[in-house]
């Protein structure tokens, strides 16, 4: 292995084998790159589970300005309008790129792209594949392209554990290997590690997604942004399976309704009803459940008999759960689904650490604001992968460095899930957030399997504690109103640890005074 490792010296390293990572690697061709994936390609990437598709304003009644308006409205005052404009204008080209790479999108008999509707979109603008199998089809095509690209070396079963950084500049990656840690010397690293669902009890993400990219960036000293904004999907299939099977918003786009055990459409009075922004629907369902009700999706009338054909993945998940959607209501509850926060990046995906880029869910470009508009994330990943690749290609390769071997334990978030789920759920309160911060603080500073997930959980909880307002997906029962000024949040690990110590100190003083 070590001879091989030396021969990779200086190559850009892409960490993560989902859509963002694969496309970045493809766009970098013919430059030789190394792609590190924890699992066999496509096996554990949340990209492959994406049902909805890519949002793009291709309809005759649509244009990027309308798409932008819906994105900004859903983002609740926190989107970066400039970057959002740039990304949404590039969306049509991104679809073309995927089609050229062999993605078989769903089309009309005349060959035009079929456009679906999802919540908070004013137009039909979701391009999809295989009905509800968009992620799987895109991954199929990209994995095939990557496997046959001579410039890309894929290293599977290896996990990046630390970035080597000197003078705020990337010098390499420490990764796990079956025998001993391996060091890859490089001055250019792209994080494309996905989200944080593995930190939660109820999530629609693969359980291996526990914020590894955020931990790598944070421990390298990078600035992270908007960490407190976590999206809960309103309609996860409420059964025993974890991760929870997703029931796409596109099902509601085709007319399905949400009812309770009495058959009442309890969202009827909410503006937009079932197609209100995702945070609004998730909160309404969560509130109804907390009053002792149950919540169901009713697809019997609409999409009706078309359901199984239009949504084969969901129909199969229902079958496995013993539900026949033609006759039965589908039990649902909100579950963690997407992280709007991430590594703070500029439009080219550059982080605050020289030589470190981020792309896809792990990055925070500013497109999503406080609440992501449905299907904007795949669009963002595909569009930004090109810009990241161009930026990486135009950057110096960095200098050789020596670094001592470091054994870092594999991250294990299992013990943290109950606490983080309670503190960082659909509804939050300062008391639970402070509990989470106090519990994460000692763990985050140890050298333990829970330490990296604890560092990420701590940073999110500190960001949530500091945001004393309710905005988008961040709802504080102790601060239910919107603040007058919208501001994005930024945090480093050192800053979060210092704030956590202050909280811990002031709680101890309060206890002593009582």
Q: Two tokens at 394? A: 């135009």
- The question of whether 372 is a catalytic residue gets the answer no
Q: Are 205 and 198 in contact (CB under 8 A)?
A: yes
Alpha carbons 251 and 244: distance in angstroms, whole number: 17
DSSP state of 273: G
Residue 250: CB minimum distance to ligand SIN, A: 5
Q: Two tokens at 82? A: 């400039």
For residue 113, the tally of other CB atoms under 10 A from its CB is 21
Alpha carbons 253 and 280: distance in angstroms, whole number: 16
Our finding on whether 71 is near ligand SIN (CB under 6 A) is: no
Q: Which of residues 314-353 bind ligand SIN (CB under 6 A)?
A: 337-338
Among 13, 88, 103, 374, the residue binding ligand SIN under the rule CB under 6 A is 374
Alpha carbons 280 and 293: distance in angstroms, whole number: 18
Query: Residue 48 or residue 160: which is nearer to ligand SIN going by CB?
Result: 48
Query: Residue 186 or residue 205: which is nearer to ligand SIN going by CB?
Result: 205
Catalytic entry in 278, 283, 417, 467: 278
Instruction: Determine the interface stretch with ligand SIN among 248-256, 306-314, 349-357, 495-503 (rule: CB under 6 A).
Output: 248-256
Our finding on whether 248 is near ligand SIN (CB under 6 A) is: yes
Residue 431: CB minimum distance to ligand SIN, A: 30
Query: Residue 135 or residue 411: which is nearer to ligand SIN going by CB?
Result: 135
Among 57, 375, 391, 499, the residue binding ligand SIN under the rule CB under 6 A is 375
Query: Residue 338 or residue 503: which is nearer to ligand SIN going by CB?
Result: 338
Query: Residue 352 or residue 375: which is nearer to ligand SIN going by CB?
Result: 375
Query: Residue 49 or residue 475: which is nearer to ligand SIN going by CB?
Result: 49
Query: Residue 286 or residue 391: which is nearer to ligand SIN going by CB?
Result: 286
Residue 123: CB minimum distance to ligand SIN, A: 16
Our finding on whether 250 is near ligand SIN (CB under 6 A) is: yes
What is the layout of strands, in order, in the sheet containing 182-185? Answer: 160-166, 169-175, 182-185
Alpha carbons 420 and 312: distance in angstroms, whole number: 33
Instruction: Determine the interface stretch with ligand SIN among 148-156, 244-252, 268-276, 493-501 (rule: CB under 6 A).
Output: 244-252
What is the x/- site pattern for ligand SIN, positions 13-52, by CB under 6 A? --------------------------------------xx
Residue 18: CB minimum distance to ligand SIN, A: 14
Q: Are 113 and 411 in contact (CB under 8 A)?
A: no
Residue 274: CB minimum distance to ligand SIN, A: 12
Q: Which of residues 483-512 bind ligand SIN (CB under 6 A)?
A: none
Strands 224-225 and 490-491: antiparallel
Among 202, 228, 249, 298, the residue binding ligand SIN under the rule CB under 6 A is 249
Alpha carbons 300 and 330: distance in angstroms, whole number: 10
Q: Are 19 and 47 in contact (CB under 8 A)?
A: yes
Query: Residue 33 or residue 330: which is nearer to ligand SIN going by CB?
Result: 330
Q: Two tokens at 281? A: 């629907």
Residue 372: CB minimum distance to ligand SIN, A: 7
Q: What is the 3-state secondary structure (H, E, C) of 141-205?
A: HHHHHHHCCCCEEEEECCCEEEEEEECCEEEEEEECCCCCCEEEECCCEEECCCCCHHHCCCECC
Our finding on whether 451 is near ligand SIN (CB under 6 A) is: no
**Closest alpha carbon to 227 in 464, 405, 421, 499:** 464
Residue that the structure tokens 């390609």 belong to = 41
Number of residues that bind ligand SIN (CB under 6 A): 10
Query: Residue 245 or residue 366: which is nearer to ligand SIN going by CB?
Result: 245
Residue 306: CB minimum distance to ligand SIN, A: 17
Alpha carbons 432 and 465: distance in angstroms, whole number: 9
Q: Two tokens at 301? A: 């009338």
> In this chain, which residue has its C-beta nearest to ligand SIN?
52
Residue that the structure tokens 């909880």 belong to = 461
Residue 125: CB minimum distance to ligand SIN, A: 12
Residue 101: CB minimum distance to ligand SIN, A: 21
Report, in this order, helix, strand and coil percent for the chain, each rounded to 5: 40, 15, 45
Strands 224-225 and 363-364: unpaired
Alpha carbons 28 and 393: distance in angstroms, whole number: 7
Instruction: Determine the interface stretch with ligand SIN among 179-187, 245-253, 358-366, 479-487 (rule: CB under 6 A).
Output: 245-253
> Which positions lie near ligand SIN, rule CB under 6 A?
51-52, 248-250, 337-338, 374-375, 377
The catalytic residues are: 278
């Amino acid at each position: 292995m070590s001879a091989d490792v030396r021969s990779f010296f200086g190559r850009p390293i892409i960490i993560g084998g989902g859509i963002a990572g694969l496309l970045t690697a493809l766009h970098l061709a013919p430059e030789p790159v190394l792609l590190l994936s924890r699992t066999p390609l496509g096996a554990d990437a949340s990209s492959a589970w994406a049902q909805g598709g890519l949002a793009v304003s291709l309809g005759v009644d649509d244009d990027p300005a309308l798409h932008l308006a819906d994105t900004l409205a859903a983002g609740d005052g926190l989107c970066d309008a400039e970057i959002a404009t740039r990304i949404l204008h590039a969306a049509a080209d991104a679809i073309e790129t995927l089609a050229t790479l062999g993605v078989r999108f769903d089309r009309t008999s005349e060959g035009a792209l079929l456009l679906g509707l999802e919540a908070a979109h004013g137009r039909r603008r979701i391009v999809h594949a295989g009905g509800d199998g968009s992620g799987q089809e895109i991954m199929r095509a990209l994995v095939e392209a990557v496997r046959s690209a001579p410039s890309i070396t894929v290293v599977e079963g290896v996990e990046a554990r630390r970035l080597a950084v000197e003078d705020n500049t990337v010098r390499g990656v420490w990764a796990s290997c079956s025998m001993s840690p391996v060091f890859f010397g490089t001055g250019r690293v792209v994080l494309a590690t996905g989200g944080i669902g593995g930190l939660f009890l109820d999530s629609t993400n693969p359980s291996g997604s526990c914020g590894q990219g955020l931990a790598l960036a944070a421990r390298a000293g990078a600035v992270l942004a908007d960490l407190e904004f976590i999206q809960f999907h309103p309609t996860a299939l409420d059964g025993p399976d974890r991760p929870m099977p997703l029931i796409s918003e596109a099902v509601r786009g085709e007319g399905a309704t949400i009812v309770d055990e009495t058959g009442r459409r309890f969202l009827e009075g909410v503006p937009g009803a079932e197609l209100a922004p995702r945070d609004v629907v998730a909160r309404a369902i969560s509130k109804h459940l907390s009053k002792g009700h149950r919540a169901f999706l009713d697809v019997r009338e609409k999409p009706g008999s078309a359901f199984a054909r239009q949504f084969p993945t969901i129909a199969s998940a229902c079958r496995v759960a013993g539900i026949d959607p033609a006759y039965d209501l589908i039990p649902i509850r909100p579950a963690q689904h997407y992280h709007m926060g991430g590594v703070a990046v500029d439009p080219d995906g550059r982080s605050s650490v020289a030589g470190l880029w981020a792309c896809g869910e792990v990055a925070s470009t500013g497109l999503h604001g406080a609440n992501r508009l449905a299907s904007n994330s795949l669009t963002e990943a595909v569009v930004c992968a090109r810009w990241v690749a161009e930026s990486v290609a135009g950057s110096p390769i960095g200098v050789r460095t020596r670094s001592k071997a470091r054994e870092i334990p594999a991250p294990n978030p299992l013990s943290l899930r109950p606490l983080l789920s309670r503190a960082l759920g659909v509804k939050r309160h300062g008391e639970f957030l402070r509990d989470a911060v106090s519990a994460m603080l000692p763990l985050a500073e140890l050298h333990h399997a829970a330490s990296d997930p604890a560092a990420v959980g701590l940073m999110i909880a500190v960001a949530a504690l500091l945001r004393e307002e309710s905005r988008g997906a961040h709802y504080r029962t102790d601060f239910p109103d919107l603040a007058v000024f919208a501001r994005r949040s930024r945090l480093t690990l050192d800053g979060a640890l210092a704030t956590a110590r202050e909280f811990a100190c002031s709680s101890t003083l309060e206890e002593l005074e009582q």
